[in-house]
């Protein structure tokens, strides 16, 4: 008679859980627990409900009761380890999760939760190993791919990280966080390849032989032009610096004073803005002249290298 009452209460609790009525489910499980306090199934159901209600300490207590009453139930150890991790009891979580994995090495969530613990402890290599095991057991675990990619990216292993971000997105296409991470990593890989291409171009470029002697009768005009272009670039550089110090900086200070202390400023805002814009235009013009002069230097230098 008592067993039937407990079973009926548990059935009603499960129905409440299906309707996401977590508080009602907890009350029903507590009634069942009052009738049979040594039932691991009742403790397991109650622990699950407490977890949904974010009552982590109660969830941990009832999962512990399950492991005491049914020491071979792997899921209870794995769930207990996950809760202990959330409670920042990492050192206790690790042996609990390892016991769950030992009882059932084919449960990917055991390795996954172990990876979460190691990650929070700052043990990156062990976390990577745990996530890899989770993926080995269940290649379709998107969260494991995503977390593994994050750690690989931290270790500057961009291409392996990119692979796992893509797997996560393939498994869960509408996962915005994973999609954004994938895009950022793809962009980072492009930037990473650019310096390499630049280095390859530099190696392919002709190099000046230090033992070569230039003939003034043959290369005199080029050398003269190089000298003039160098002086011109130096003058344009000095001009940019002069505008920066003599126009840009005073205009910024004047504009800041006018904006921060409008009552005490002796200058109208429109005048400050006009002076600032004029200074910026002067700087842009000077920068264009400097850039043109530098391009001229580069062209002359390339011609000398080919002589």
DSSP assignment of the chain equals -HHHHHHHHHHHHHHHHHTT-HHHHHHHHHHHHHH-TT-HHHHHHHHHHHHHTT-HHHHHHHHHHHHHH-TT-HHHHHHHHHHHHHTT-HHHHHHHHHHHHHH-TT-HHHHHHHHHHHHHTT-HHHHHHHHHHHHHH-TT-HHHHHHHHHHHHHTT-HHHHHHHHHHHHHHSTT-HHHHHHHHHHHHHHHHHHHHHHHHHHHHHS----TT----HHHHHHHHHHHHHHHHHHHHHHHHHHHHIIIIIHHHHHHHHHHHH-TTT-SS-HHHHHHHHHHHHHHHHHHHHHHHHHHHHHHHHHHHHHH-
* pLDDT band, residue 144 (cuts 50/70/90): very high
* pLDDT band, residue 121 (cuts 50/70/90): very high
The answer to whether residues 161 and 229 belong to one domain is no
Asked whether residue 143 is domain-assigned, the answer is: yes
Domain that includes residue 244, residue range: 216-306
Q: Kindly tell me if the per-residue pLDDT of 7 is higher than 60.
A: yes
The answer to whether residues 279 and 224 belong to one domain is yes
Write out the two tokens for 167. Answer: 């797997």
pTM of the prediction?
A: 0.61
Instruction: Tell me the CATH number at 175.
Output: 1.25.40.10
User: To which residue do tokens 């550089």 refer?
Assistant: 237
Q: Kindly tell me if the per-residue pLDDT of 198 is higher than 70.
A: no
The answer to whether residues 180 and 239 belong to one domain is no
Q: Which of 63-67, 173-177, 207-211, 238-242 has the lowest mean pLDDT?
A: 207-211
> Of all residues in the chain, what percent carry a pLDDT higher than 70?
83
CA distance 154 to 42: 43
Q: Which of 44-53, 96-105, 209-218 has the lowest mean pLDDT?
A: 209-218
* pLDDT band, residue 39 (cuts 50/70/90): very high
Provide the residue count of the chain: 307
Asked whether residue 54 is domain-assigned, the answer is: no
Name the region of 122 (left: φ>0; alpha: ψ -120 to 50; beta: rest).
left
Is residue 130 a contact partner of residue 157, using CB atoms and an 8 Å limit? Answer: no
Give the C-alpha distances (Å, rounded to integers) separating 118 from 75, 96, 114: 19, 13, 6
Q: Kindly tell me if the per-residue pLDDT of 2 is higher than 50.
A: no
Predicted pLDDT of residue 8: 94
12 CB contacts (<8 Å, ≥6 apart)?
28
Q: Nearest to residue 42, comparing CAs of 77, 68, 73, 7? A: 7
CA distance 35 to 41: 13
Asked whether residue 101 is domain-assigned, the answer is: no
Asked whether residue 15 is domain-assigned, the answer is: no
Q: Which of 163-172, 197-206, 245-254 has the lowest mean pLDDT?
A: 197-206
Asked whether residue 64 is domain-assigned, the answer is: no
* pLDDT band, residue 304 (cuts 50/70/90): low
Asked whether residue 209 is domain-assigned, the answer is: no
Q: What's the mean pLDDT when you consider all of the chain?
A: 85
Predicted pLDDT of residue 283: 83
CA distance 22 to 30: 12
Predicted pLDDT of residue 266: 55
Residue range 209-233: average pLDDT? 67
Residue range 48-60: average pLDDT? 96
How many domains is the chain built from? 2
Asked whether residue 297 is domain-assigned, the answer is: yes
- Chain segment 86-120, per-residue pLDDT in tens: 999 999 999 999 999 999 999 999 999 999 999 99
The answer to whether residues 236 and 156 belong to one domain is no
Predicted pLDDT of residue 42: 96
Is residue 188 a contact partner of residue 158, using CB atoms and an 8 Å limit? Answer: yes
The answer to whether residues 175 and 220 belong to one domain is no
* pLDDT band, residue 1 (cuts 50/70/90): very low
DSSP 228-244: HHHHHHHHHHHHHHHHI
Predicted pLDDT of residue 254: 77
Asked whether residue 8 is domain-assigned, the answer is: no
110 CB contacts (<8 Å, ≥6 apart)?
74, 77, 78, 81, 97, 100, 101, 104, 134
């Amino acid at each position: 008679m008592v067993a039937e009452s407990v079973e009926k209460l548990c059935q009603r609790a499960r129905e409440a859980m299906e309707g996401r009525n977590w508080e009602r489910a907890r009350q029903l499980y507590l009634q069942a627990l009052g009738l049979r306090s040594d039932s691991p199934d009742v403790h397991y159901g109650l622990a699950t409900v407490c977890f949904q209600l974010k009552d982590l300490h109660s969830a941990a207590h009832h999962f512990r009761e399950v492991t005491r009453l049914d020491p071979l139930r792997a899921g209870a150890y794995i769930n207990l380890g996950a809760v202990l991790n959330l409670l920042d009891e990492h050192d206790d979580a690790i042996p609990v999760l390892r016991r769950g994995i030992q009882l059932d090495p084919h449960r990917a969530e055991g390795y996954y939760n172990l990876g979460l613990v190691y990650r929070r402890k700052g043990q990156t290599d062990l976390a990577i190993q745990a996530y890899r095991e989770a993926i080995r057991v269940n290649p379709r675990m998107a969260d494991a791919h995503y977390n593994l990619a994050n750690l690989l990216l931290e270790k500057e292993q961009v291409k392996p990280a990119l692979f796992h971000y893509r797997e996560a997105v393939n498994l869960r296409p509408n996962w915005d966080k994973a999609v954004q991470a994938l895009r950022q990593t793809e962009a980072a890989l492009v930037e990473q390849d650019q310096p390499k291409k630049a280095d390859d171009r530099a190696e392919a470029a002709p190099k000046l032989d230090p033992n070569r002697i230039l003939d003034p009768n043959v290369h005199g005009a080029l050398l003269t032009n190089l000298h003039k272009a160098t002086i011109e670039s130096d003058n344009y550089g000095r001009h940019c610096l002069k505008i920066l110090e003599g126009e840009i900086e005073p205009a910024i200070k004047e504009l800041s004073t006018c904006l921060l202390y409008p009552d005490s400023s002796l200058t109208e805002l429109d005048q400050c803005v006009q002076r600032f814009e004029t200074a910026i235009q002067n700087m842009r013009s000077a920068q264009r002249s400097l850039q043109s002069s530098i391009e001229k230097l580069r062209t002359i230098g390339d011609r000398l290298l080919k002589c």
